[in-house]
Amino acid sequence: MEAAQPTPSLSFIIPVLNEGETLNTLFVKITATVQEHGLGSFEIIFVDDGSTDNSWQAICELATAHPDVRGLRFRRNFGKAAALAAGFSEARGRIVFTLDADLQDDPEEIPHFLEKLDEGYDLVSGWKKDRQDPLEKRLPSKLFNAVACRAGGVQLHDMNCGFKAYRREVLPHLNLYGELHRYVPVLAHAEGFRVAEIPVRHHPREHGVSKYGWKRYIKGMLDLLTVLATTRFLDRPGHLFGGLGLISAAGGFLILFYISCMKLIAGMPIAGRPLFFLGILLMLLGSQLISMGVIGELVIRFQSHDHRGKVIERA
Ligand code: UDP
Ligand code: MG
């Protein structure tokens, strides 16, 4: 049935967890912007991530009344990344937007994203330049961004903005699960896509409550390790583990060398010195890490490499 529908130009994917109060207004705002700017056909896909309020009812009413609206529903809360991934697999538009359901993102920015994509970018991410959230959220977010951008090799102010626009070619390359939605720009950049950022207007939350607190940044740092291991170091685990291992082993060696010299020159005893144990610990840790790197390299050696995923054109 659905296959017979014409392909829309734009898809909007909206993850929803208990946001029943805002969905109708959001629909009206998106529709108004698209029509006002003559942006062509579109579809809105609401993904209900296990809401316990009236969100699903609101989505069903919208989907019944408007053929451009569709809804997906999870049996329980699987998280924003899973909701976005489900939306991506349903989206048919040439350009795919994601935005939050709580009206903090302003649909009037949609044309600006399209202008930036037209400059030749594959992914445009919003930057909540004047962020309307409490300070205890803004400060850790700044720190998180700085670390994640540096480690991930992308230069953005606001990695984790929910408002983004993608060329559809990007989507099959993003394997979003857990809480990896925070690292979409790093994941896309690692696949060779061109990533840009535009400042967007941000509104305070007026309905419902935030689903995330400061704890997200602790989990986020753990996720960063996963992202680095599966992107930058995917082809060379030996460099990640080997690098750390060499630093540790070198530290241990220097300590043991120093206390050996002190024993020989000044006759100072070795046993019983805390430094002695630290030296041994660092040497052992270093050799452990280096051998993990070697095992990682062996695992990769026996995996078939899929080069087609990296090839984009043939002549
Ligand atoms: N969300 C979701 N599943 C979750 C948590 C959040 O679908 O497990 C949705 C939520 O409904 C909202 C968006 O993700 O549309 C962003 O969440 P929120 O506004 O709470 O984040 P904040 O703006 O506080 O960073
Ligand atoms: Mg929000």
**Residue 311: per-residue pLDDT:** 73
Residue 79 Cα to ligand 1 middle (Å): 9
- 285 lies in the same domain as 145: no
| Residues 167, 23: Cα–Cα separation, whole Å | 25
- 248 lies in the same domain as 264: yes
- 226 lies in the same domain as 241: no
Residue 99 Cα to ligand 2 middle (Å): 10
- 223 lies in the same domain as 260: no
Residues 43-93 have pLDDT tens digits of 999 999 999 999 999 999 999 999 999 999 999 999 999 999 999 999 999
Beta pairing partners, 11: 43, 96
The best mutation among 19, 45, 102, 176 to test binding of ligand 1, ranked by most ligand atoms within 8 Å of the C-beta, falls on 102
- Can you give the pTM of this predicted structure? 0.86
83 lines ligand 1 (CB under 6 A): yes
> Which of 161, 153, 164 is closest to 186 using CA atoms?
153
CATH of the domain at 152: 3.90.550.10
| Residues 192, 296: Cα–Cα separation, whole Å | 23
| Residues 286, 241: Cα–Cα separation, whole Å | 9
**Residue 305: per-residue pLDDT:** 65
Q: Domain span at residue 276?
A: 237-309
Residues 226-267 have pLDDT tens digits of 888 888 888 888 998 999 999 999 999 999 999 999 999 999
Positions in the chain whose pLDDT score sits under 70: 1-5, 304-309, 312-313
Contact between residue 111 and residue 198 where contact means Cβ atoms under 8 Å apart: no
Residue 34 Cα to ligand 2 middle (Å): 22
Cα angle: 114, vertex 158, 79; to 5 degrees: 90
**Residue 1: per-residue pLDDT:** 46
Q: Which residue matches tokens 């896909």?
A: 45
